Amino acid sequence: MKTLSFLALLSLSLSCHALDTEKLADAIYRAEGGPKARVPYGILSVKVSSEAEARRVCLNTIRNNHTRWLKAGKPGSYLSYLANRYCPKSADPVGHRNWLANVSRIYSTTPTTQPIK
């Protein structure tokens, strides 16, 4: 129950504030295993040759899906929307729930760097 309350509060705060793409990419990096990850940033959709390239793909994914979320009328929280694309519930229900909870927790406890443009 605490996790659901936390996610609801985080969703509300994200809908009222600008999204920090760098901070969210950092949260995804940590949730996907950080420096010990076999696949940096969990990028499986395209072949990447370096961690820097994986970060660029992650940032593009964040920005592109934020634009899609806005165009769709902000259905639900942005992080839930992103989780449905990054780690789809249909492909891995437990992984999806864990990804959303971990990224949300890390994102909410990391200092802000800059808002999305």
Residue 114 located in a structural domain:
no
Looking at residues 65-94, what average pLDDT do you find?
94
Quote the CA–CA distance of 53 and 78 in Å, as a whole number: 24
Residue 84 located in a structural domain:
yes
Residue 14 located in a structural domain:
no
Instruction: Report in angstroms the alpha-carbon separations of 93 from 20, 46, 79, 84, 88.
Output: 26, 22, 16, 10, 7
Residue 98 located in a structural domain:
yes
Residue 13 located in a structural domain:
no
Q: How many domains does the chain have?
A: 1
pLDDT band (50, 70, 90) for residue 116: very low
Can you give the pTM of this predicted structure? 0.79
Residue 115 located in a structural domain:
no
Question: Residue 109 has what pLDDT?
Answer: 87
Per the model's pLDDT, the better-predicted residue between 7 and 54 turns out to be: 54
- Please check whether residue 40 is in contact with residue 32, taking contact to mean a CB–CB distance below 8 angstroms: yes
Q: Which domain holds residue 37?
A: 2-6+19-109
Question: Is the pLDDT score of 84 beyond 50?
Answer: yes
